[in-house]
């Protein structure tokens, strides 16, 4: 997760957030309950956090992508698509795991602070 920290994200696996001037970028790693793969979900919210439809307030330092109804999965072409499930089931060595991580990092264009927001316009 050093890559995300270098780009200004805070939090811990599986949830990360980065406060911008007008919104908070949210990244959540959702792991397959059977193991061996994960998907990366992206979302945004206001800098104040969110209020759920049942009235619960989630502050900006606690909100996660899973708290937001509209999420984009990394590798998808639209919000309605499933995105890429990154598979590490057959990884045996550090290098194997690093290959999977490298693919994810290459797809996360988070050095552009408006990149995640563009999926929701």
pLDDT digits (tens, 9 = 90+) for 68-121: 999 999 999 888 889 999 999 999 999 999 999 999 999 999 999 999 999 988
The pLDDT score that the predictor gives to residue 105 is 93
Q: pTM score > 0.85 for this model?
A: yes
Range(s) of the domain holding residue 53: 2-118
| Reported confidence tier of residue 26, pLDDT bands at 50, 70, 90 | very high
Q: Are the C-beta atoms of residues 42 and 79 closer than 8 Å to each other?
A: no
Count: domains in the chain = 1
- Strand residue runs (E) in the chain: 10-12, 15-19, 24-31, 37-45, 50-51, 57-58, 72-73, 86-87
Q: What is the number of other CB atoms lying within 10 angstroms of the CB of residue 71?
A: 21
The pLDDT score that the predictor gives to residue 114 is 93
The pLDDT score that the predictor gives to residue 121 is 80
**For the chain, what is the radius of gyration of the CA atoms?**
15
Residue 78 to residue 121: CA distance in whole angstroms: 11
Residue 77 to residue 35: CA distance in whole angstroms: 25
């Amino acid at each position: 997760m050093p890559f995300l920290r270098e780009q200004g994200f805070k939090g811990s696996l599986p949830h990360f957030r980065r406060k911008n001037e007008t919104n908070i970028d949210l990244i959540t790693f959702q792991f397959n309950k059977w193991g061996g793969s994960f998907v990366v979900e992206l979302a945004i919210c206001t800098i104040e956090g969110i209020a759920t439809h049942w009235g619960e307030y989630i502050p900006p330092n606690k909100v996660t992508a899973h708290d937001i109804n509209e999420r984009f999965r990394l590798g998808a072409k639209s919000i309605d698509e499933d995105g890429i499930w990154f598979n590490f089931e057959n990884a045996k060595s550090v290098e194997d795991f690093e290959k999977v991580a490298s693919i994810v990092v290459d797809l996360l264009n988070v050095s552009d602070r408006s990149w995640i927001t563009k999926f929701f316009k």
